[in-house]
Structure 1
Amino acid sequence: MTSEPTAARAEDREDSAERFAGIKQRGRAFRGAVAARPTLNFGYRIAVGVVGGLVLLVGIVTIPYPGPGWALVFAGFGILATEFVWAHHTLTWVRGKYRIVMDWYTSRGWFIKVLGAVATFALVVVTLWLLGTYSMVGGWIGVDWPWLRSPLMS
């Protein structure tokens, strides 16, 4: 009785592996067809560079904010790594450094964790102020206090 669910899961894994292999094979065939045409290949590489660069840039900007900052950084490098060797090396390096820092951070006591949370909160508050977010929202509700105005966006 216990072998049936295990056998079903094994079959599902095999089906998933076969589907993934088929998708991977079609992707390689598509990339080979694109690579065979130099002009199309050049345009494809430019498109991958632009999309990957934009995803990476959005990820870097959103790192201190709640949400998918680091995931977008890794996704951006992943997109770029499909076409550029330097991006693959950088992705490997960044992943390693990220793991080292997160292992260090999670192994610390509560004081360091609270300090990290407070520093992240302060960074978010300061960047929102510098970008003029508080004066913009204050303008929406009719509040025009001088200290809400950003020194950069005046």
Structure 2
Amino acid sequence: MATSDRTHDERDASGRPSETGDADALKDEAARRSGIHGWLDGIRTTRTGRLTLKIVIGVIGSVLVIAGLIMVPFPGPGWLVVFAGLAVLATEFHWAHRLLQFGKRTLAAWTAWLGRQAWPVKILVILAAALTAMVIVYYGLRLSLHIDLIAEARALLNR
């Protein structure tokens, strides 16, 4: 019997009407699930827990997505952090779940396309990615730390 089909006249273990209504049944159902899902279901059994969980998940997921987007132009795990943030958000928000599924489908389609290409195309994609990363690092260092890598390399070669 689904939780929504139960009446509000739930009985506790002694046979008396339960003062908490469906909350006891939801907690029992949550206890049957194992791992993180059961724990999250246990928190969701109360209105306060549900709201608190949405806020905490929203803040953690948003911080991860924003940090990942900041890291995207730099070498490192930028997109991985963005997807991790979306996965966190997807535990509570349907729109994040849909966006995560779209991202997974797009990534799978792109990697499948790249896998079907000949070696020269694969090499060009790798070179383009490496060149893009080098340009980003060069201008990132030049604009933020005022370090010109080309001038530094020339100075080292002229010694």
TM-score (norm 2): 0.61
Q: Provide the aligned C-alpha RMSD in A.
A: 3.5
For the pair shown, the structure with the greater C-alpha radius of gyration is 2
Q: As a proportion of its length, which structure holds more helix?
A: 1
Residue from 6, 17, 30 that aligns with 2:43? 30
Partner of 1:47 in structure 2?
Answer: 56
Aligned length: 122
Give the partner amino acid of 1:108: Q
Partner of 2:68 in structure 1?
Answer: 59
Give the partner amino acid of 1:125: M
Q: In the TM superposition, what is the alpha-carbon distance from 1:50 to its structure 2 partner?
A: 2.4
Partner of 1:129 in structure 2?
Answer: 138
Give deviations 1:63-102, integer Å, cap 9, x for gaps.
Answer: 4655434332221111111121111111111111111001
Residue from 49, 73, 82 that aligns with 2:91? 82
Unaligned runs of at least 5 residues, structure 1? 1-19, 149-154
Unaligned runs of at least 5 residues, structure 2? 1-31, 155-159
Judged with a 3 Å threshold, the aligned counterparts in structure 2 of structure 1 residues 85 and 135 are, in CA distance, closer, same or farther, namely: closer
